[in-house]
Chains A and B, each alone.
Chain A
């Protein structure tokens, strides 16, 4: 959510309203999940605290490219696909957090996205569950 800083300054008898909106920066790695168990790293490289939520989405196509649906799966359905603890947390300025995950076997592809809202913009960085195929596993 956008934080609006309001500064009332007197200047030759006039009141000036200044609105500022500092940047928020959200990062996620890796962007492809190939192992059933692993770690996700969420980072906040901005100088502000931000609330981050990890949500699970189905896959859709936009202009021939894969991306996440706009509406997250309900928690129960998401939990059946992937376990993440915690899924909602605050990240301090410059902080990062490593989150362990485990994916239930035999699941189709889906996205798990780190999301953060600021003003007009909701940022999402998404990791796609894309298991190594059986044929690829058999290769040396």
Chain B
């Protein structure tokens, strides 16, 4: 096919070709420097998520008991609401959730500080919760109760705050 072109036609085609190519090379020159799109990193590993809701405390009318537990007998001032704990993780049997006994801050020190998980009984020592085979723990109620033998077995007037610490760790031996 090329052999049928005259020298003049060849020059004409070459000129046309250069016109076609020229804009392309010009466009390439005007794109400018390349731009990186940065993504912040992620960490791929074992994880644990704790979801909590805060509870609320009430004081028994005789002021000897502060609790979040509405099932306890007595007449209370305030609204008792349990805290709740739920866990999502990719841990198996090595996953550990520990709930420590609560602490009470306020005018009168508590002489007994106890916690109750779900329908278990009250305890003054740290409790461990087992994760399911899927690594999760369904929402579990956390109740606290405090009593005192100080100040004539009564909590003095004032504001009292309670905190129970819930800890998730991976206890796998390596």
What is the interface of chain A, defined by CB distance below 8 A to chain B? 1-2, 4, 19, 21-32, 34, 39-41, 43, 45-46, 62-63, 65-68, 70, 98, 111, 113, 117-126, 128, 130, 132
A25 contact from B49, B54, B57, Cβ within 8 A: B49
Complex Cα distance A46/B86, Å? 12
In the complex, chain B residues whose CB is within 8 Å of the CB of A128: 169-170
Residues of A within 8 A of B7 (CB): none
Q: A3 to chain B: closest CB distance in Å?
A: 8
Docked pose: A68 CA to B91 CA in angstroms: 17
* B40-86 interface with A by 8 A CB criterion: 40-57, 68, 79, 81-85
Is B41 touching A121 in the complex (CB atoms < 8 A)? no
Number of interface residues of B (CB under 8 A): 46
| Contact yes or no, B171 A124, CB < 8 A | no
Q: A120-B164, A121-B163 known; A43 and B54 CB under 8 Å? A: no
Contact residues of B with A, CB < 8 Å? Answer: 40-57, 68, 79, 81-85, 91, 96, 98, 100, 102, 126, 128, 142, 144, 162-172, 174
Complex contact B48–A122 (CB within 8 A)? no
Cα distance A66–B172 in the bound complex, in angstroms: 9
The 18 listed contacts between A and B (C-beta, < 8 Å) are A2-B56, A4-B56, A19-B79, A28-B48, A29-B44, A29-B45, A30-B46, A31-B47, A31-B168, A65-B171, A67-B169, A118-B52, A120-B55, A120-B142, A120-B162, A121-B53, A121-B142, A126-B168
